[in-house]
Amino acid sequence: MKSELAVYLRIQAAISAAYNFFISGMIASLIYHKADFVKTDALSIAVDLMITCIMTFAITTPFCRMSLRRDKTKGVLADKTHPARLFIWFFNRPLLLCAIFGLGSALILFVPAAALFTLLSVKEIPFYFYILLKSVFCAALGAFATCSVLYAGMCSDDPSQETT
């Protein structure tokens, strides 16, 4: 990948991480504002992760698509590999991209999160620790979502579109 595109991805990911860090903390504090503790059973973790991941991709995808149009970086990477074609296919179907990437992220993250809380015998965590944990998690997820969607939009199966 060209160094300009890597810098572009880092800048976009950092902006998204900062945005998600603050917004997710505020939303979580609004939802649980009267609770002293937040449950960490498997069902609570699954629902929380599913909603968080899908909403993160649903909010991030339109902004990434607009950024690619504005910065004229759509389709600048010529790549004919199967994963790149799959990314292109998903990018052309934004609702499916949000659903598949969001649910996929939630499923992948559920197992270690549930296992960690179960192994540590944690039934609930303090409200402020939950807000901190949620904010840090959403910052990382937002950066991942931004990079994934931007990369999907930068891929092209037409080698004549690649910039030099």
DSSP letters, 55-103, are HHHHHHHHHHHHHHHHHT-TT-EE--SHHHHHHHHHHTSHHHHHHHHHH
How many domains does the chain divide into?
Answer: 1
Residues 38 and 127: their CA atoms lie apart, in Å, by 6
Domain holding 94, by residue range, is 3-161
Give the number of C-alpha atoms closer than 13 A to the C-alpha of residue 48, restricted to the C-beta side: 24
Residues 156 and 59: their CA atoms lie apart, in Å, by 23
pLDDT at 38: 92
pLDDT at 155: 86
In Å, how far are 40, 137, 161 from 110, measured between CA atoms? 11, 13, 39
b or e along 137-156 (b: 16 or more beta carbons within 10 Å of the residue's beta carbon)? bbbebbbbbbbbbbbbbbbb
Distance of CA 100 to the CA centre of its chain: 12
Contact 17, 155 (CB under 8 A): no
Tens digit of pLDDT at every position of the chain (164 positions)? 578 888 999 999 999 999 999 999 899 889 888 889 999 999 999 999 999 999 999 999 999 999 999 988 888 887 778 888 888 888 889 999 999 999 999 999 999 999 999 999 999 999 999 999 999 999 999 999 999 999 989 987 665 555 54
pLDDT at 164: 47
pLDDT at 86: 87
pLDDT at 159: 53
pLDDT at 50: 95
